[in-house]
């Protein structure tokens, strides 16, 4: 088992500052999304990545712009981390016509192909084989693109996980599987329904893969394992699976207060919050408090602006309803 040492990450401070900014963006975006949910502006459901920002950040930074992300319904952070602007993402949550998919997908299906964000998938496990397919296509066409596929700890017990891992291994596909282990499924503790301690890492050997665990609340550590795995994949050396240990600060979805979790556990993990940790590290490295504060303020301004723009979006109409079932843009099943 490989456990990557901390205090590594990208060498230059500029990149580290970008990583800080990204984490703050993801954090503030999710907080805003939650506020708007409570205001009943987010209509369906939503699953926030509060507390898990370091994983999306570390990976996004290690990816090439033409690499591909496959995420779950808990996909806001992964979408933003690939460079998708905040406004269309927030507007999508509000069901507005300026939403990323004009309101047709909703919070659980954020997709922006132009940013390599190949979709958020709401059926547990499904996107692991789909990511294999993208990786296969890269391999076939020789483009050296890599597919990165994120999923949760609870998702390791579904059949599609198993099929995808074996498939990727035998075809040596350029895909990196990332288990964001936040200890919980919806309201059930994953360890109570899983036969091994590390739901992903302890199963890597079943697919001939190395067991890799990383501190998922340390963006630099994540960056390092991500860069290594992506490089391996790009070099044709096949898939990797990484288990990133983390925690979600809030509930599973919507307004769930997450009360089923012991207070002590929540407190322990709040103390490991990736953002203050990263902030301290930057201060230690000589970045000024003022510089960090200005990043934070800029992000707040951006989130405020996105909020306004999203709210100003129109209500999607009948024209959108019957559009884009088929590649011809329409929905007719008859002549």
Partner 1 sequence: MAQLTFREAIARGIAQEMRRDESVVFLGEDIGAAGGVFKGTVGLLEEFGPVRVRDTPISEQAILGAAMGAAMTGLRPIAEIMFADFFAVCWDIVVNEIAKSRYMTNGQVSFPLVIRSGNAGGLRFGAQHSQSVENWAMMVPGLKVVVPSNALDVVGLMAASIRDNDPVIFLENKILYSVKTDVPEGDIVDTLGTAKVLRQGSDATIVTIGTMVGRSLSAAEELAAAGIDCTVVDVRSLVPLDTQTILREVAATGRLFTVEENPRLCGWGGELSSIVSEEIFFDLDGPITRITTPHIPLPAADSLEDMAIPSVERIVSTITKSMNA
Ligand X SMILES: Cc1ncc(C[n+]2csc(CCOP(=O)(O)OP(=O)(O)O)c2C)c(N)n1
For residue 184 the two structure tokens come to: 């919980």
Q: Exposed (0-12), middle (13-18) or buried (19+): which is 324, by Cβ within 10 Å?
A: middle
**Does residue 166 bind its own copies (CB under 8 A)?**
yes
Assess 315 for contact with partner 1 (CB under 8 A). yes
Using CA atoms, how far apart are residues 91 and 98, in angstroms rounded to an integer?
6
Applying CB under 8 A, does 196 fall inside the site for its own copies?
A: yes
Which CB, 180 or 296, lies closer to ligand X? 180
At residue 56's C-alpha, the angle toward residues 55 and 62, to 5°, is 90
Strand order in the sheet with 212-215: 2-3, 212-215, 240-245, 175-181, 147-152, 68-72, 117-121
Site residues for ligand X, 149-168, by CB under 6 A, read 151-155
Binders of ligand X among 235-274, rule CB under 6 A?
A: 252
* DSSP-derived secondary structure for 259-327: TTS-HHHHHHHHTT-HHHHHHHHHHHTT--HHHHHHHHHHHHHHHHHHHHHHHTPPPP-HHHHTS-SST
Q: How many residues bind its own copies (CB under 8 A)?
A: 24
308 near ligand X (CB under 6 A): no
Give the footprint of ligand X on residues 37-96 (CB under 6 A): 74
Among 232, 295, 318, residue whose Cα is nearest residue 2: 232
* Other CB atoms within 10 A of residue 262 CB: 9
**In the complex with partner 1, which residue's Cβ is closer, 20 or 68?**
68
d(CA 23, CA 257): 23
- For residue 136, state whether it binds its own copies (rule: CB under 8 A): no
Q: Could you say which of ligand X, Mg ion, partner 1, none residue 74 binds, taking C-beta under 5 to 8 angstroms by partner kind?
A: ligand X
Specify the stretch interacting with ligand X by CB under 6 A; choose among 30-38, 145-153, 201-209, 233-241.
Answer: 145-153
Lookup: tokens for 225 = 């394992």
Residue 123 is a binding residue for its own copies (CB under 8 A): no
Instruction: Out of 56, 60, 128, 222, name the contact with partner 1 by CB under 8 A.
Output: 128
Q: Minimum CB separation from its own copies for residue 202, in Å?
A: 7
- Using the rule CB under 8 A, is 210 a contact of its own copies? no
Which one, 104 or 189, has the nearer CB to ligand X?
189
Residue 283: contacted member of ligand X, its own copies, partner 1, none (CB under 5 to 8 Å, by partner type): none
SS3 51: coil
Of the candidate residues 153, 220, 243, 296, the single one contacting Mg ion (CB under 5 A): 153
Residues that bind ligand X (CB under 6 A): 74, 122-124, 151-155, 180, 182, 184-186, 190, 252
């Amino acid at each position: 088992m490989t456990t990557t040492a901390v205090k590594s990450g990208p060498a230059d401070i500029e990149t580290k500052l970008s990583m800080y900014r990204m984490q703050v963006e993801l954090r503030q975006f999710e907080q805003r999304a939650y506020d708007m949910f409570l205001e009943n502006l987010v209509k369906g459901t939503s699953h926030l990545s509060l507390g898990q920002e370091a994983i999306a950040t570390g990976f996004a930074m290690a990816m090439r712009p033409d690499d591909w992300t496959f995420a779950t319904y808990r996909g806001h952070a992964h979408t933003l981390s690939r460079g998708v602007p905040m406004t269309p993402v927030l507007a999508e949550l509000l069901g507005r016509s300026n939403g990323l998919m004009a309101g047709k997908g909703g919070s659980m299906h954020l997709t922006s192909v132009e940013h390599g964000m190949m979709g958020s998938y709401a059926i547990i496990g499904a996107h692991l084989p789909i990511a294999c397919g993208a990786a296969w296509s890269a391999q076939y066409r020789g483009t050296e693109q890599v597919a990165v596929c994120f999923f949760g700890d609870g998702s390791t017990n579904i059949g599609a996980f198993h099929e995808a891992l074996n498939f990727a291994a035998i075809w040596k596909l350029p895909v990196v599987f990332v288990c964001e282990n936040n200890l919980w499924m919806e309201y059930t503790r994953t360890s109570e329904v899983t036969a091994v301690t590390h739901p992903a890492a302890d199963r890597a050997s079943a697919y001939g893969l190395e067991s890799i665990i990383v501190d998922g609340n340390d963006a630099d550590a994540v960056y390092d394992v991500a860069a290594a795995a992506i490089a391996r994949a790009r070099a044709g050396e096949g898939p990797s699976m990484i288990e990133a240990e983390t925690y979600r600060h809030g509930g599973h979805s919507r307004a769930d207060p997450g009360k089923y979790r012991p207070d002590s556990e929540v407190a322990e993990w709040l103390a490991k919050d990736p953002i203050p940790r990263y902030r301290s590290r930057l201060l230690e490295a000589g970045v000024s408090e003022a510089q960090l504060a200005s990043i934070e303020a800029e992000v707040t301004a951006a989130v405020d602006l996105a909020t306004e723009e999203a709210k100003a979006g129109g209500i999607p109409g009948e024209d959108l309803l019957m559009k884009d079932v088929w590649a011809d843009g329409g929905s007719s099943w008859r002549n």
